[in-house]
Amino acid sequence: MSKYETIFILQPSLDEEACKANIEKFKGVIENGGGVIENVDVWGKRKLAYEINKVNEGYYTLINFNADPKLPKELDRVFRITDTVIRHIIVKDEK
């Protein structure tokens, strides 16, 4: 298992319950794929560095997890098909 971290930004128009539901959905993808979540850090609503699709703000969340190399590909697929995700990135932690 390797260490990974992902940061994703959700639409600012979502209410708090919808944000929590999305975070739980992504945590479920990680756990159901055999991954182990180490840390979930919800940063909340922040201003974006630049405008994306006429949106200036978003809900940021950071998740650190351990997983097999196949899991990040599945997580990336789920991020891409989820309409509420503005941007995401998954990085392997080389430490």
CATH of the domain at 77: 3.30.70.60
Contact yes or no for 22/53 (Cβ under 8 A): no
**29 in any annotated domain:** yes
**82 in any annotated domain:** yes
**11 in any annotated domain:** yes
**45 in any annotated domain:** yes
pLDDT for 11 equals: 94
One-letter-per-residue 3-state SS of 24-40: HHHHHHHHHCCCEEEEE
**34 in any annotated domain:** yes
pTM for the complete prediction? 0.89
Domain containing 10: what range? 2-88
Note down pLDDT in tens along the chain; length 95 residues: 899 999 999 999 999 999 999 999 999 999 998 899 999 999 989 999 999 889 999 999 999 999 998 999 999 999 999 999 999 999 998 87
Domains contained in the chain, number: 1
**95 in any annotated domain:** no
**Nearby residues of 65 by Cβ (< 8 Å), 6 or more positions away:** 3, 4, 5, 6, 30, 35, 36, 37, 38
